[in-house]
Amino acid sequence: MIKSIFMQPYRFIVRQKESYGYWDEGSDNATALLFLHGMLGDIRNWQDNVLPFTESGYRVIAPILPCYHLPLRQTHIKGLVEWVHGFLDAIGLPKKLILVGNSLGGQVSMFYSRSYPRDVSGMVLSGSAGIRELAMKSEFFRRNDDEFLRTHAGFTFHNAEKHVTPELMEEMKGIISNREQALRLIAMGRSSKSDTVCPFLAHLQMPTLLLWGEQDRLTQPDVAEELHAHLPNSTLRFIPECGHAPMMEQPTLFNEALLEWLHEQFPVSEKERVIETIVV
């Protein structure tokens, strides 16, 4: 089984196209969900959110975002947008594309939709950055004691005791103790804070689902309310007992809410279901 940079196995095959590593599950011709993870995340964040959608006739694509590996001068939101655009150009732009972004991935989704509106049929934003977010202080990269890191990692989850595992702690320590990676995380964090989405939200006309944790402490529920007020074609759903990463902490509720919205906005035809059954 293929290993990630964090030395834990990926659940699905990581495909390679040019310099891009990614998951790609489901029929090539199906409506595609492009899953974009957050800054300290990885495509494994989506491991419980693939099969429910491919089994329902959708295609799931999840690229490994180069948050730690872009050239330093390109380590900003617009640099990631152009990376995503290059990735889609390399694998072939799906006929119908829905961006699904968590945290930084949500901010990238909105900037991408502004730059390439013809590429995007819909968006799903979950705990998205771009308005207000609890920022990582520089102290986060200087201190390496377990209790400090465990406390800050816990901000991501409502049930931190369950989700802040020893494996997660080791991964975080490995990232922040690497000077080159830490520099890029700081640069990306600064860009995320300064590159706000407020000036152009009203121009994003595509159907948008805001899928938010009720107990999100990083991008609090009022951020979701503000996005809902300014995105002209948006639907807001809160997930109970859930923090900043609903797809990880409450995957069943996340998948159910997203599938319900997809069936309303982007239903799968009977022909597509037949094709998907044959592929599976």
User: What domains are defined for the chain?
Assistant: 15-279 (3.40.50.1820)
Nearest CA to 205 out of 139, 118, 267 is that of: 118
User: Which tokens hold the place of 91?
Assistant: 């694998």
Is the pLDDT at 274 greater than 60? The verdict is no
Q: How far apart are CA 43 and CA 4, in angstroms?
A: 9
pLDDT digits (tens, 9 = 90+) for 36-94: 999 888 999 999 999 999 999 999 999 999 988 899 999 999 999 999 999 999 999 99
Predicted TM-score (pTM) of this structure: 0.88
Between 260 and 182, residue with greater pLDDT: 260
Q: Are 240 and 214 in contact (CB under 8 A)?
A: yes
Is the pLDDT at 5 greater than 60? The verdict is no
The DSSP H or E segment spanning 97 is strand 97-102
pLDDT value, residue 181: 84
